[in-house]
Chain A
């Protein structure tokens, strides 16, 4: 089964596999740097569990789980 970014635990690393292409937010996420091949690390969850904060290409970005759900990941190291 395909894993998505929102299912990762804090501290996990993974490689971005793809973005759900039929989603109108895909382009926006991709231009921010969520593109296939890049490594992403989940650094923390907000106190109420959402949004989550990830490290991507040397920057810290926070996104909601709803957005993280459109990013498919592989090679997960938990």
Chain B
């Protein structure tokens, strides 16, 4: 091996860039994790939300940047994932062009895997091949003559088994050698009609004043009618004319422009692989008998329901104790710090109710995220995820989603945060976008306390437990029932992204490795805390300040006076005096609650709530409900505590609190045309519940949507859902008045 000084880069700036390229399901990411360990950096590619995973590879005395490109079957640049591959390989849009490509190929399916290699050969970037899953190929009776393959391809070929770490040393060695002495893949020999077509396009694009096309890019334009390279050209008619001419020439040569590229590549590959791959008899596929069971109409469906039940239960119930633990930790920290800062109440409240509560509010999501990604990694690594998507695709295909939307939407019934994060498994950008927008409509567990409080207070006493149960059940479907038709409308009329064919490769069943699963959990957990967490924390501090300030001391004095005047009716002055000396006494607590209530009424959010109450008036909401609704925009479960404060009961009430329930039942309008009438009539109660079912009252979800898509979509989702919630609540109230 060369000493570092001798391996001095030839006019290279910084570290050499090595990119891993390959089809999905080849073990490319496992190999990447093995090579870089935890020295990884995850970011987004500029302008699009495709994850850019890079890491540091140290070997042979040099440091290299290793880039894990998204898995793709071909260079057809339709999806964002594929577009990124094309951009990186072409060194476009300010991205650094790799110095070396490492193709990770699935040895059990060499021919199809080599198609991408054959397409990339056109780019002329030095390459080497990692022949992965060699163990599986041997088990399937496939023998590969590695030396002959390397000779035919003109680049080094290394056998690896990424899951076990076999062949890693050889691969690293080969990467170091290839950086020093690069070798490129031989380019395919195209028929004349195609070379001419490319020439025509390149000349035409130059004439149209757009950026020049390389030969490799011209081929993409020629074969993908909606290639990204045509997006930048303003004169669409010109591109179409050029393509029509080029395609006519291809047709006249007896080829089909739709399949010509693949046909020519595969013909080339069949010649290349002759004598290299030898399969003993028909390929023995291990998964046939398992598929017969798992994809069976009856058994397959039952097993699917069972698997999904376990996933859902684990999120909905099993995460509970962990979340309680985090909750208890947050309270304990607050209780510990509160007395230390009693001299500075504003700082005390900022630290305890703003920052610590906010951090707790971020960490509370971690158990569900980790558990969900444990199952997603498990289901994907075993190969079941593709089967699950196959089984349920029809349920979703009519409204623009696909079979892979199932797990994210199901998880959103526990919590939309992990649900939105789980949409990473959807490679179709349109289906992913739609699934993300639908996820917050699923009735998450944070809505449950609101339903339980209102149903338990108003519906159960009137109509009995049976109706109460039915209403609770129905509330869980309100969001879904609206979301799917909305998805259809959105897809049909608004989204201008091309629908992609939903094609799934059924991978071989494999035994997952714990290492891989834990890596996925760690990666997602870290990303959530570092990226979404900071935004959620900022939201939480903002809302705290709106509820805390201006905190005029006069408010406290007035509240105390009015409280004492009220108390004097039933108690003697001496009784009150002695009770107030004991901070634990009933009267002291009631006074504290009274002051809290006055403060919230006078806070910026309280004033805002009163000011916008007319907006919610058509839904029958009074100012207290309005403030409750507004204060629960960062997190919907907050409404219970806010209601507690507003109704002088303190923040420590929960949905089962009898005090809160009886206060709500007695609450009457104190002014206006409805003076003296109860506030919480059945239409108002239903309106509040439907409002909570449809409204995006979750700062964390807004933050995660902004993270996964962008702020524009997050705003669209937020305002869209809020408007929908308002319209629904108003409709319920107004229609009920017609009776």
Contacts and interface: CB of A to CB of B under 8 A. Distances in A.
A58 B285 contact: yes
A27 B501 contact: no
A43 B258 CA distance: 26
B73 A64 contact: no
Contacts of A34: 259
Contacts of A18: 256, 259
A47 B301 CA distance: 8
Nearest to B301: A47
A12 interface: no
A37 to B, nearest CB: 9
A67 B501 contact: yes
A27 B505 contact: no
Given A46-B393, A51-B393, A62 B259 contact: no
Interface in B259-294: 259, 261-263, 265-266, 283, 285, 287, 291
B112 interface: yes
B258 A62 contact: no
B397 interface: yes
Q: What 8 pairs across the A-B complex have the smallest Cβ distances?
A: A26-B258, A30-B262, A48-B394, A30-B259, A60-B506, A31-B74, A21-B258, A62-B504
B181 interface: no
Nearest to A18: B256
Given A23-B258, A32-B73, A53-B295, A59 B112 contact: yes
B109 A35 contact: no
Interface in A30-68: 30-36, 43-44, 46-51, 53, 57-64, 66-67
Interface stretch (B218-226, B536-544, B719-727): B218-226
Contacts of B74: 27-28, 31-32
B257 interface: yes
B256 A31 contact: no
B297 interface: yes
Contact of A60 (B225, B291, B301): B291
A15 B115 CA distance: 21
Given A18-B259, A50-B394, A57-B111, A24 B226 contact: yes
- Interface range on chain A (Cβ under 8 Å from partner): 35 or more
Nearest to A16: B259
Contacts of A29: 259, 501, 503
A17 B91 CA distance: 38
B33 interface: no
Of B73, B225, B394, chain A has the most CB atoms within 10 Å of the CB of B394
A61 B392 CA distance: 16
Given A57-B111, A59-B505, A24 B261 contact: no
Contact of B295 (A31, A44, A66): A44
Given A28-B501, A53-B506, A35 B393 contact: no
Nearest to A20: B258
Interface of A: 18-36, 43-44, 46-51, 53, 57-64, 66-67
B112 A27 contact: no
B391 interface: yes
Interface string B241-259: 0000000000100001111
B150 interface: no
B263 A30 contact: yes
Interface in B8-65: none
B502 A64 contact: yes
Given A32-B73, A36-B263, A60-B506, A47 B226 contact: no
B297 to A, nearest CB: 5
Contacts, number: 133
Contact of A63 (B283, B285, B287, B501): B501
Given A30-B259, A31-B73, A53-B506, A25 B395 contact: no
B76 interface: yes
Given A28-B501, A29-B259, A32-B74, 14 more contacts: A19-B258, A20-B258, A22-B258, A27-B258, A28-B73, A29-B503, A30-B263, A33-B111, A33-B266, A34-B259, A36-B256, A47-B301, A47-B391, A58-B285
Contacts of B73: 28, 31-32
Nearest to A22: B258
Contact of B390 (A21, A24, A33, A51): A51
A39 B301 CA distance: 29
B261 A31 contact: yes
Contacts of B285: 58, 60
B664 interface: no
A47 B389 CA distance: 12
A64 B393 contact: yes
Contact of A61 (B223, B257, B258, B505): B505
Interface string B353-388: 000000000000000000000000000000000100
20 contacts: A20-B258, A24-B498, A26-B259, A27-B223, A28-B78, A28-B500, A28-B501, A28-B503, A44-B295, A47-B391, A48-B392, A51-B502, A53-B295, A58-B109, A60-B291, A60-B506, A61-B506, A62-B504, A63-B503, A67-B502
B300 interface: yes
B115 A31 contact: yes
B76 A28 contact: yes
B109 A46 contact: no
Interface in B491-516: 498, 500-506
Contacts of A51: 390, 393-394, 403, 502, 504
A21 B403 CA distance: 27
Given A26-B259, A28-B74, A64 B112 contact: no
Contacts of B287: 60
Contact of B259 (A21, A24, A49, A58): A21
Interface in B204-233: 223-226
Contacts of A58: 109, 283, 285
B240 to A, nearest CB: 13
A27 B390 contact: no
Nearest to A60: B506
Contact of B261 (A30, A46, A60): A30
Interface in B406-432: none
A27 B572 CA distance: 89
A37 B111 CA distance: 16
Given A21-B257, A33-B112, A27 B262 contact: yes
A24 B223 CA distance: 9
Interface string B63-90: 0000000000110101000000000000
A60 to B, nearest CB: 4
B129 to A, nearest CB: 19
Of B224, B283, B297, chain A has the most CB atoms within 10 Å of the CB of B297
Given A48-B395, A50-B397, A64-B393, A27 B263 contact: no
A47 B262 contact: no
Given A46-B393, A59-B505, A60-B505, A31 B76 contact: yes
